Amino acid sequence: MEWSLVCPVKDEIHLLERALPSFYAVNPTEVILCLDKPAPKNVINAIRKTVKACNAEHKTRIIEVEQNPDYEFHQAWVRRKGFLEAKYDRILTTDIDLILNENVLKAIRLVGKNNIGLVSCSKRYSYEGFQRIWRNTGMELVRLIGSPRFTGLYAIWRPHWIDSEDEGIKKLKDPKHGAYREAKVGEDTYLRNCMMRKHKVIYLEDVGGKALATNIWDLPQIQFENGRHLASKEYGILRVLLAVLLQLHAYALLGWLYEVTKD
C-alpha cells in the first residue's frame, strides 16, 4: 500500500524530535512537510537533522508554500498544497504536535473503497493528575453518548477531496480570530463537511495519535466562544452543564450564560 503523509510545520522545533520519528514508524511511502516560504533556516536544519537520524531522507520532501491571495486562511492553503504535491491519492494528514501509532493505518486502508472519502482517528491529550483522569474519561463518555468528535488526524482519498471541496474554503477565516459562529469550523472541518455531501465519512474510535500540545478546546477563550456557539444552537442548560462537567470547561458555561442573557 503506497500512501503519502502530509504535515504543515511552522516553527515547532521543540516538537520535531518527538513527532517525526513516529511519522516514519508507521511506514508512509513519502512524507511531505509543508512550511511557509521563506522557511526559517533553523527549522529546516532541525528537520534535516531528525530526518537523517531516522534514515528517511529518501522518503522526505520539504516544500515551501508561498502566500496564495485566493485564500484568506493561509494554513488552509498550506495543507492543501501538500495534498496537491503528494505522489499518491491515499493521504494521511496530521499535525506536528502528534505522536502517531499504527492505528492510523486502519484509516489509510479504508479511504478510496466503497465511496469512502475521509476517515478520522481519535486523539488523546496529555493531562496531569486529576485532569488527566477526568478529561480523558469525559472525552470517552462524550464519544459513547454522542457523535464522535472529528479531529485533525485523518486520511483522505484525493480524488474524492478534489470533487467535493468547494470554493468556500478560500473565504474561510482563521477560526482563532473569527466570530463565534465560525469558531467551530476550521479548515479541516470545512473539508469534512464538503466531503460528507458526496462521499462517506467514517470516525474511528481508535486512538491514532497522542497530542504533545495543549488541546485548543481547553483554552479559556475557546471554551467561552464554544459556550456562545452552544447558545446559538439553542442548547439547553442541562445539556451545557453535562458538557461542562465531562470536560471541565467552566468558561463554556460563562459563554453560554453571556449569550443567553445579553439581550
Same domain? 178 vs 165: yes
Please tell me the pTM assigned to this model.
0.78
Give dist(CA 210, CA 97) in Å, integer: 8
| Mean per-residue pLDDT of the chain | 85
30 Cα distance to chain centroid: 20
The alpha-carbon radius of gyration of the chain (Å, integer) is 19
Same domain? 177 vs 232: no
Same domain? 145 vs 176: yes
Same domain? 156 vs 138: yes
Give dist(CA 131, CA 153) in Å, integer: 23
Residue 115 has pLDDT above 90, yes or no: yes
Same domain? 91 vs 168: yes
Please give the tally of structural domains in the chain: 2
Last residue of a domain, one of 199, 218, 237: 218
Same domain? 205 vs 239: no
Question: pLDDT tens across 12-30, in order?
Answer: 899 999 999 999 999 999 9
CATH number assigned to the domain comprising residue 143: 3.90.550.10
Q: Side chain identity at 73, as an amino acid letter? A: F
Same domain? 135 vs 257: no
Same domain? 157 vs 85: yes
Domain that holds residue 118: 4-218
Residue the block writes with cell 460563562: 254
Last residue of a domain, one of 200, 218, 236: 218
Same domain? 198 vs 235: no
Last residue of a domain, one of 186, 202, 218: 218
- pLDDT for res 183: 46
Question: pLDDT tens across 181-240, in order?
Answer: 444 567 888 999 999 999 999 999 888 898 886 666 666 777 777 778 778 777 788 878
Instruction: Determine the average pLDDT of the residues in 122-140.
Output: 62
Same domain? 144 vs 154: yes
C-alpha cell at 24: 516514519
Which range has the worst mean pLDDT, 69-73, 118-122, 181-185? 181-185
First-residue to last-residue Cα distance in the chain: 57
Same domain? 174 vs 81: yes
Same domain? 107 vs 41: yes
